C-alpha cells in the first residue's frame, strides 16, 4: 500500500507547482503558504516545514500577508480562506494589468512621436520581405487592413493566426471584404457571427492552396505551409497584387 505521508507530500508539491505556474508565487512563498495551510503557525515552524531559510521566512510571510493569502494571529500566522484569497489575487492582477494597459495607451502618442524622430528616412519602402512569427505577421496585418478599403482573404489553414486575426480585423465594418475558404476549413458559429459582423462575403473553393491576404492598396501576404510558427511573404506591388486579387475572385466567379 502507498505510504500516506508520501501521498500528502506529493499533493503538497502539486499545490506548490500550481501556485508558482498559475499565480506567479515564488518557490519560498508557495512552500510557506502550503505549510501555513497545513497548520504551521510560528515562523520557525513554518521555516522548518517548508524549507524556507529562517533568515528569509519573515519577509516571505509578510509578502503573503500583503497578497492576502495569510494573516497574523497572535504570535503566528493563519491562512485565509483559499477560495477568497485566490479570487482577490486574480482581481488585483486584473486591475494591475488594466492599469498598465491604460498607462501604455496614454503614452502611445508621445512615444510614437519620439520614434518617428529617430526613424531612418528612406525614399522607398522595401517591396518584399519574409515575416516569421505571430507578432511580425500581426503587425503587418494591422498595417494592411488600415491602409485599404478592399480585401480578399484566401484561407487554407492559418489556425495559429485565427483568433488574433479576428481581433485585428473586427473593426473593418464598412469595407469590402471577401473570404474564400478551402472546404476543409471548419467554420464555427462564432466564425459565422464574425463574418456577419464585418459584412464579409464568404465563398468556398478547392483551389485554395495557401493562406493569402491581398488588398486593393497593392499589398499581399502569402503564407507558407509550415506547421510551426507562421512564415509569410509580404509583397508590395500594385501589378502583382491586382493580378492575384483578380485570380482569387475568378475562383468563385466574383
Can you give the pLDDT at residue 49?
93
Mean per-residue pLDDT, 242-251: 91
Distance CA 83, CA 89 (A): 10
Distance CA 104, CA 196 (A): 32
C-alpha cell at 88: 482577490
Can you give the pLDDT at residue 145?
78
C-alpha cell at 62: 509578510
CATH of the domain at 79: 1.10.10.10
User: CB of 222 within 8 A of CB of 235?
Assistant: yes
Can you give the pLDDT at residue 172?
65
110: in domain: no
User: Mind listing the pLDDT tens digit for each residue in 168-218?
Assistant: 676 666 788 899 998 888 888 888 888 888 888 999 999 988 889 998 889
68: in domain: yes
User: CB of 132 within 8 A of CB of 231?
Assistant: yes
144: in domain: yes
Per-residue confidence band for 44, with pLDDT thresholds at 50, 70 and 90: very high
User: Mind listing the pLDDT tens digit for each residue in 160-175?
Assistant: 556 667 776 766 667 8
Per-residue confidence band for 58, with pLDDT thresholds at 50, 70 and 90: very high
DSSP collapsed to 3 states, 72-115: EECCEEEECCHHHHHHHHHHHHHHHHHHHHHHHHHHHHHHHHHH
User: CB of 158 within 8 A of CB of 185?
Assistant: no
Give the domain-ending residue among 19, 51, 85.
85
My answer on whether 172 and 247 are in the same domain is yes
Can you give the pLDDT at residue 47?
94
> Which percentage of the chain shows pLDDT scores above 70?
86
Mean per-residue pLDDT, 140-156: 84
My answer on whether 156 and 215 are in the same domain is yes
My answer on whether 149 and 236 are in the same domain is yes
Give me the number of domains the chain comprises.
Answer: 2
Strand partners, 76: 73
My answer on whether 165 and 231 are in the same domain is yes
Closest to 208 measured CA to CA, from 243, 146, 177, 252: 252
Strand partners, 201: 178
User: CB of 252 within 8 A of CB of 153?
Assistant: no
Report the SS3 class of residue 220.
Answer: strand
Can you give the pLDDT at residue 228?
60
Distance CA 25, CA 35 (A): 14
Distance CA 241, CA 215 (A): 7
User: Mind listing the pLDDT tens digit for each residue in 217-240?
Assistant: 899 999 876 556 778 899 999 899
Distance CA 12, CA 17 (A): 9
Per-residue confidence band for 155, with pLDDT thresholds at 50, 70 and 90: confident
User: Mind listing the pLDDT tens digit for each residue in 5-41?
Assistant: 443 454 678 888 999 988 889 999 999 999 999 999 9
My answer on whether 80 and 141 are in the same domain is no
Can you give the pLDDT at residue 1?
40
Per-residue confidence band for 125, with pLDDT thresholds at 50, 70 and 90: low
My answer on whether 66 and 157 are in the same domain is no
Distance CA 155, CA 213 (A): 9
| Structural domain for 40, as ranges | 4-85
Distance CA 75, CA 68 (A): 18
My answer on whether 168 and 229 are in the same domain is yes
pTM: 0.57
My answer on whether 27 and 132 are in the same domain is no
Tell me the average pLDDT of the chain.
Answer: 83
Amino acid at each position: 500500500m502507498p505510504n500516506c505521508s508520501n501521498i500528502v507530500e506529493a499533493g503538497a508539491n502539486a499545490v506548490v507547482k500550481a501556485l508558482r505556474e498559475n499565480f506567479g508565487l515564488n518557490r519560498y512563498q508557495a512552500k510557506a503558504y502550503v505549510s501555513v495551510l497545513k497548520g504551521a503557525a510560528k515562523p520557525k515552524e513554518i521555516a522548518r516545514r517548508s524549507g524556507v531559510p529562517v533568515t528569509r521566512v519573515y519577509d516571505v510571510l509578510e509578502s503573503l500577508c500583503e497578497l492576502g493569502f495569510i494573516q497574523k494571529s497572535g504570535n503566528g500566522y493563519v491562512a485565509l480562506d483559499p477560495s477568497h484569497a485566490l479570487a482577490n489575487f486574480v482581481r488585483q492582477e486584473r486591475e494591475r494589468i488594466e492599469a498598465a494597459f491604460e498607462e501604455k495607451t496614454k503614452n502611445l502618442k508621445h512615444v510614437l512621436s519620439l520614434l518617428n524622430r529617430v526613424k531612418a528616412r528612406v525614399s522607398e519602402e522595401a517591396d518584399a520581405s519574409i515575416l516569421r512569427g505571430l507578432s511580425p505577421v500581426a503587425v503587418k496585418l494591422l498595417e494592411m487592413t488600415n491602409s485599404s478599403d478592399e480585401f480578399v482573404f484566401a484561407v487554407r489553414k492559418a489556425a495559429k493566426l485565427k483568433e488574433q486575426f479576428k481581433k485585428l480585423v473586427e473593426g473593418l465594418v464598412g469595407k469590402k471584404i471577401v473570404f474564400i475558404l478551402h472546404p476543409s476549413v471548419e467554420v464555427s458559429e462564432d466564425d459565422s457571427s464574425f463574418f456577419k459582423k464585418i459584412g464579409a462575403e464568404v465563398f468556398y473553393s478547392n483551389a485554395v492552396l495557401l493562406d493569402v491576404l491581398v488588398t486593393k492598396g497593392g499589398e499581399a501576404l502569402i503564407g507558407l505551409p509550415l506547421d510551426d510558427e507562421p512564415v509569410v511573404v509580404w509583397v508590395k506591388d500594385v501589378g502583382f497584387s491586382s493580378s492575384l486579387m483578380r485570380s482569387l475572385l475568378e475562383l468563385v466567379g466574383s
